Structure 1
Amino acid sequence: MSPITLHLGQTLWFDGDPLLDGPEAAVHNSRGGLAVQDGLILARGTADDLRKAHPEAKIVDHGQSLLMAGFVDAHVHYPQTAIIASWGKRLIDWLNTYTFPEEMRFADPDYAEEVAGRYLDIALANGTTTMCSYCTIHPNSVYAYFKAAASRGMRVLGGKTCMNRNAPDGLRDTAQSAYDDSKVLLQRWHGQGRASYVITPRFSPTSTPEQLVALGALWAEHPDCLMQTHLSEQTDEIAWVRELFPDARDYLDTYESFGLLGANGVYGHAIHLEPRERDRLREVGAALVHCPTSNTFIGSGLFDMAGLVAEGQRVGLATDTGGGSSFSMLRTMAAAYEVAQLRGATLHPSTLLWLATEGSARALGLSDRIGTLAPGTEADFIALDLASTPAIAQRSALAQDIWEAVFPTIMMGDDRAVAGVWVIGEQRA
């Protein structure tokens, strides 16, 4: 066993779900710490108690920085890294103008390797230690992503994006090749180190019924895997789905009828849901992922966080790089706050931080390993500087409690607020 390291500073973790239990679900220590050994959280508590329990431990003192779980980004497209913040398009035009031309470049393994490494380094600099990514139709894009993550020790999820229609030449597979490629990749990567394979139809407009059937069959064969896709992001997309699937009851039915609805399903966006869709998603225990910067940037709509949580939906948070306009989960939390305000609800800072960590980990079925500082879990954590810029510092200086101290960083912070990032106990940024 390796030596124990004590990381001391302010600490924040959750003993419950603040969406349901309120801010009291959070535990804040103004002088706390983490004991880390062999890549795991050994213990947490006050600095004094940890020093007494582990007198021989190496000490890393983070001063007034806030130690908390690393951010978990539940829905990203790493191949869109280079086209983030591209101007002026709604979803379908965005795909045709920016996304598809860029994704065609991933036929080149060297380019895929370059972008995968660049994306992961940017994510780490912003405090994100785990993400669930769509790759491209090219198997080498999946290899590039998982290999780059393994070299950084990161726990990541992802899969080959499958689509066999309504996409350009060179960016379509077939029902059979989608199944075959995905199965080979799943067998190679799922559970290898810290990698999890995710079965990934892009969305029903780019898959024929035959391809959706094939991917549903693959999921039935490997039900421990997640399945990720997009759902009800924009109204014109929903109208398109109706044209393509005239016999479907609704958008969700284009997945459900082909075996692509279940508890391990992760559905991005989910803005314009019909009552039946909401009922079925709740009944099966599927996860919905809120992508607020994307939803506002591309003009998709306003996610009903309060209503969906009240009815018992499981919700995570995501940047949706590169439809989303920022790699930062801090900026994503700020956008989630703003979207909720526009819907007449107010998200407490504890809720925002929980969504970006344990909430997203729950959406991905990983809250027993990441998104938390619980003893025995993987030591993926960050140190946040709550006075990283003059504007943030002057506001946080007036704080009466931890929430007033951290909220300016949520609303105005960026990668400068991330003072350090540790992945399985090793500093990575």
Structure 2
Amino acid sequence: MPYQNSLDFARQLDAQDPLRAFRSQFLIPKGPDGQPCTYVCGNSLGLQPTSARAAVEAEFAAWEEHGVEGHFRGTAWMHYHDTLTEATARLVGAKPVEVVVMNSLSVNLHLLLISFYRPTATRYKLLMEGGAFPSDQYAAASQAKLHGLNPDEAVVELVPRPGEHTLRTEDIEAKIQELGDSLALVMLGGVNYYTGQAFDMAAVTRAGHAVGATVGFDLAHAAGNLLLHLHDWDVDFACWCTYKYLNSGPGGTSGVFVHERFANRPDLPRLAGWWGHDPSDRFQMKKEFRPMPGAAGWQLSNAQVFPMAIHKASLAIFDEAGGMPALRQKSEQLTGYLEWLLRELNLPADELEIITPADPAQRGCQLSLLLRRRGRALFEHFAARGIMADWREPNVIRLSPVPLYNSFEDVWRIGQAVAEWGQLPV
């Protein structure tokens, strides 16, 4: 698409946008001037759907009216997580038996690692990206220790080539092949939180399986952002949060994917909980654990109804918008426009550099700006102009125009703000 740097052009794109009406389904914080801000922090916390409050209030009303019988009346909390299954499967490219919504992200990651990181004396390496989100680093190290291993020896980190900011797929594949029979697990983020790089999950999964390793992904920055085909890619397991691109509230619930080949594997080691037990005799309170088929067998506890109510409201918006194919199409245009505007400024690379890949297939809707000078000044410049961005130490600003509620005019205003900052005296 040939872009233009003008407000009229941005508004023309907005007028032609088939998803423009969805912006009104979200509550946008106010900027310093009392007007809705330009919110580009969806990769950290998504905005509140206007339907969220009513969704939770409905469950408050059910609690008030029914008490404990709410588990069986009305929306029937007993089966509440089931109401999220179909939409979740569509979101991540899975079969319904392969997904469940439960717990929170780090909890789910640990539960899955208990089952899928099974090191032996000779096959014990865990491969992950260097600079992964700290929770993933902590999880990998603590799981290695749990098996009596030294994390410095068991956990192998991928780092970019000298002078580069992101990983090359061929280098990931080469490292997997190099580790070979010593590799037990490949665990990457679907999108690196810092650089915004989206990994080729299909290629990584093929490479891992070729050497006999298990492959899983933390999709915190990928779910609701990228087109995912977890079943077709043959991914073994994955998990994600719902409070970023899925707009389901701070500390919101989490999703899990376990490939259907493990659906009827009660022999898999796992940390068992009552809600993962076969529901046909769950209430007989038998001592022996018999897991439900599929991802649901990893459940520990009954549904977190209030956060799940918000998530259910948000998933309905995704379906109404046409799902990830429609959202991804707009996302590529929004992020592409932002990238074009920033590159048109021709700012010196030693001052501002976009470290997110330029190839749309290797990124979601995030652009990470590396600021070698005056980084905090730009962040504060944004804030003063009602642009809510995300600062990451030591010198990166992350901008994430989200297709459900960001506009092309939002993106144009960011470009204008960077242009103003570039003219400020050093």
TM-score (norm 1): 0.29
Higher relative contact order (CA 8 A, sep 6+): 2
Structure with greater strand percent: 1
Q: Which has the larger radius of gyration?
A: 2
